[in-house]
Amino acid sequence: MKGLTANRLIDGEVVFWNAGEWVERFADIEMFEDAAAAEAAEAHAKAQPTVVVDPYLMDLVEIDGVWIPVAYRDRLRALGPTNHLQHGKQAEGGKVVETLQHAHTAARSTGRINLIKRK
Amino acid sequence: MYRYDTIDKEFVADRANEFREQVGRRLAGEITEEQFKPIRLMNGLYLQLHAYMLRISIPYGTLNAAKLRKLAWIAKTYDRGYGHFTTRTNLQLHWIKLKDAPDILEHLAEVEMHAMQTSGNCIRNITADPYAGATSDELDDPRVWSEAIRQWATLHPEFSFLPRKFKIAVSASAKDRTATRIYDIGLAMRRGRNGELGFEVMVGGGLGRTPYLSHTIREFLPTRRLLSYLEAILRVYNRHGRRDNPWKARIKILVNQLGAEEFARQVEEEWAKSDHELVDLPDIELARIRGHFAKSFETLPARSEAFEAAKAADPEFARWTRHNLHPHKAPGYAIVDVSLKTPGLTPGDASSEQMELVADLAERYSLDEARVNYQQNLILPHVKLEDVPAVWRELKAAGLATPNIDLVTDIIACPGLDYCTLANARAIPIAQQIAERFADDEKAEEIGELKIKISGCINACGHHHVGHIGILGVDKKGEEFYQVTLGGSGAEDAALGTILGPALPYEKVAEAVEQLVEVYLRERKDGERFLDTFRRTGVAPFKEAVYADVH
């Protein structure tokens, strides 16, 4: 399973793709089972250079019935920093946020090298 | 403090306007991200995990009240009300919006600040002894020379596209408070046989994935020849430094591949070719710069009865003075270290309110000066002894009177994976966990000097290689692990640490540090610091304690 994410150009906010729109909550992300559909969405996102920066597909894994990013880095992007729990998306709370905060398993850094190159 | 002249002011204001135009063009789609990225980086603007990060330059770590207040206001207005002071004595704001960045640069320009050369392959912000102009053990004020280098290096056309970034540190005391040995160029002032002042020139230090301490390529360079000699070094590096591989592009690689002797020979050859008079600053200009740093101190008795009485009356205050106060060159004055290392909080972070308070104290009690040091703390360099109790009370009320300078809880930590795109692992929570274990001031004092430094990746912004205990975050199959090194030092007894053993899981790190400290307390002899004991015993007893349960 994959999801599409990027940073919004104008303010750097982490955003997620859902049916042609960029949304701010990870809980609202669209999940792609089909690789071709995921790649098509990514291509669409890359054609929006004045809206987002560095869109990329991230791997998702199911934990406790909730799909969350595999890479720890992507989990932090979906949450916010762990030293200021009132900052970032985590401030809103909810089941998906809690699952992200407590998921210790199966993290890996897929795509990290490419991410670094892009930044 | 150095003040901009008209040309400086116009230039920095123009630069902010130029960036406004460039941001406008990027948002309108007239330039691509690929074209824009080097432009924003040249203005200190990175895109990180959660938002843009603006790294604001604080030349040689020197601030006045107006600058610090402006930083506080920017953090409150455009960020989340706090900022992070870095090991390069800059300030990072981690929640910046691209659309606001031009306004912020304009506000910075109003107080003679900017974010240029805090990124990119150029000569970065110059680091100097944070006690400059205040400590009794300096030969000269290193900020005079730092400012001369800053002016020379700012947008220097020949050195704006170096093979890699380039960092210079200047010290003028025997005690090294700037970590000169880990810099691309470290300059340590010495007095020559005839009384003339000069610099020992050290080149090729650096941390990262290939850590090196620098080599001395010239024992004594007369101060008046500083800029032409720097030019020669930079020219040799610019010519031969590798541009094909960013991991091998720093000058440390070139120096160590050529050998320090050959590198020095090439520098001398290059230097001999140049017309020094064209590059080196004339005395009149040096005198102009020097004039900006001159301070006059009141004639005071060396001892303040009010200060002594306050110490006698309050053990908490007395403890703080033992660790956070340092001797001043003027009788009746002291240097006050303001710790940004409250156990449980983020090392190097200060809220806008805290910055405002330090600005007020600087203005009222420290001849309008504050400093940032590479240990991520602030300093009030010129406080009268009789005012120290009042300063302490105000710092305490703001949560800024932790008595822990150079102690186990005075931990350096980079932002790590909580913010940084490059990081492999978090650094801040590790620092918080360790500090909480040693939060008892008495225990920390009993342990004595112990410098813990944590980096979230091999780029080593947290200086882990030169920590008495160094901690490096690594990524092991997607999990956060931490490699521990022992015996490093960034001071005058500089050394790179030795790896303790296999990397430890996140949950084990603070416990391991506690075990290391227990070994030290068990093994130490009279007057030994952690570092001294480690150097005497070697790694074995420490290793045994941490990995005992593995065997």
Give the pLDDT confidence of A7-28 residue by residue, as tens digits.
Answer: 999 999 999 999 999 999 999 9
Residue identified by tokens 């309050």 is B314
β-bridge partners, B480: B475
- Check CB contact under 8 Å for B428 and A87: no
Q: What is the pLDDT of residue B549?
A: 72
Is A82:B426 a contact under the CB 8 Å cutoff? Answer: yes
Give the residue ranges of DSSP H helices in B126-275.
Answer: 142-153, 226-240, 251-258, 260-273
Chain pair A-B, CB pairs under 8 angstroms? 88
Is A73–B99 a contact, with Cβ atoms under 8 angstroms apart? no
The SS3 of residue B211 is coil
According to DSSP, residue B40 is labeled H
Nearest CA to B102 among B201, B164, B199, B19? Answer: B19
- B95:A87 CB<8 A: yes
Q: Which residues contact A20 (CB under 8 A, 6 or more apart)?
A: A44
Taken in order of first residue, the domains within chain B and their CATH numbers are: 6-110 (3.90.480.20), 134-286 (3.30.413.10), 305-397 (3.90.480.20), 412-550 (3.30.413.10)
- In tens digits, chain B (551 residues) has pLDDT values of 899 999 999 999 999 999 999 999 999 999 999 999 999 999 999 999 999 999 999 999 999 999 999 999 999 999 999 999 999 999 999 999 999 999 999 999 999 999 999 999 999 999 999 999 999 999 999 999 999 999 999 989 999 999 999 999 999 999 999 999 999 999 999 999 999 999 999 999 999 999 999 999 999 999 999 999 999 999 999 999 999 999 999 999 999 999 999 999 999 999 999 999 999 999 999 999 999 999 999 999 999 999 999 999 999 999 999 999 999 999 999 999 999 999 999 999 999 999 999 999 999 999 999 999 999 999 999 999 999 999 999 999 999 999 999 999 999 999 999 999 999 999 999 999 999 999 999 999 999 999 999 999 999 999 999 999 999 999 988 789 999 999 999 999 999 999 999 999 999 999 999 999 999 999 999 999 999 999 999 999 999 999 987 65
CA distance B68 to B348: 15
Residues B231 and B22: their CA atoms lie apart, in Å, by: 31
Neighbours of B329 (CB within 10 A): 15
pLDDT at residue number A105: 54
State phi, psi for B440 to the nearest 5 degrees. -70, 115
Question: Chain A neighbours among B 429-458 (CB < 8 Å)?
Answer: 429, 432
Question: Which of A14, A73, A116 is opposite residue B417, by nearest beta carbon?
Answer: A73
The DSSP element (H or E) to which B191 belongs, if any, is strand B185-191
- Tokens 């920093």, located at residue: A81
ipTM of the complex: 0.92
Q: Which residues of A14-38 are buried (b: 16+ CB within 10 A; e: fewer)?
A: bbbbbeeebeebbbebbebeeeeeb
Structure tokens of A13? Answer: 């906010």
Return the biggest CA–CA distance within chain A: 38
pLDDT on residue B369: 98
- Put simply, the answer to whether A87 touches B48 (Cβ < 8 Å) is no
Spatial separation of the C-alpha atoms in residues B249 and A62, rounded to whole Å:
42
Residues of chain B with C-beta less than 8 angstroms from the C-beta of A81: 50, 94, 418-419, 428
- Closest residue of B to A81, CA-based? B418
Instruction: Supply the pLDDT for residue A5.
Output: 98
Q: H helices then E strands: how many in chain B?
A: 19, 21
pLDDT at B550: 62
> Mean pLDDT for chain A?
89
At A100 the three-state DSSP class reads: helix
Q: Which among A12, A87, A109 has the least Cβ separation from residue B52?
A: A12
Please report which residue ranges of B169-247 form alpha helices under DSSP H: 226-240
Predicted confidence at residue B354, as pLDDT, reads 98
pLDDT of residue A104: 67
With beta carbons less than 8 A apart as the criterion, state whether B506 and B480 touch.
yes
Determine contact, residues B368/B295, Cβ cutoff 8 Å: no
What residues contact residue A15 under an 8 Å CB cut-off, 6+ apart?
A5, A6, A7, A8, A22, A23, A24, A52
Whole-number Å distance between alpha carbons of B404 and B450: 10
Asked if B551 reaches chain A (Cβ–Cβ under 8 Å), the answer is: no
Give the pLDDT of residue A111: 44
Spatial distance between the Cα atoms of B478 and A75, rounded to a whole number of angstroms: 12
User: Does residue B337 contact residue B370 with C-beta atoms inside 8 Å?
Assistant: no
Instruction: Give the nearest partner residue to A76 out of B32, B98, B418, using CB atoms.
Output: B418
pLDDT, residue A112, reads 47
The interface residues of chain B toward chain A in range 530-549, judged by CB-CB distance below 8 A, are none
In angstroms, how far is CA B25 from the centroid of its own chain?
Answer: 35
Residue B188 pairs with which residues in a beta bridge? B171, B200
**Residue B173 per-residue DSSP state:** B
When CB atoms are compared, the residue of A13, A76, A115 closest to B51 is A13
Q: What is the mean pLDDT of each run of 10 residues along chain A (119 residues)?
A: 98 98 97 97 97 97 92 94 94 92 62 43
What are the angstrom distances between the C-alpha of B474 and each of A101, B427, B503, B549?
Answer: 20, 11, 8, 22
Task: Report how far apart, in Å, the C-alpha atoms of B540 and of each of B252, B453, B468 are.
Answer: 31, 21, 15
Q: Which chain B residues contact residue A9 at CB under 8 A?
A: 26-27, 33, 98
- Give the one of B46, B95, B429 whose C-beta lies nearest to A82's C-beta: B429
What span, in angstroms and rounded, lies between the C-alpha atoms of B103 and B124?
23
Name the residue facing B97 among A11, A70, A83 (closest C-beta).
A11
How close B416 comes to chain A (CA, Å)?
A: 10
Q: Is B297 exposed, middle or buried (0-12, 13-18, 19+ CB in 10 A)?
A: middle
Q: For chain A, list residues whose CB is within 8 angstroms of any CB belonging to chain B.
A: 7, 9-14, 49-50, 53-54, 70-73, 76-77, 80-84, 87-88, 106-109, 112, 115-116, 119
Segments making up each domain of chain A, as ranges: 2-114
Instruction: Mutation target for B interface from A8, A46, A84: give the one with most B CBs within 10 A.
Output: A84
Q: Are B341 and B432 in contact (CB under 8 A)?
A: no
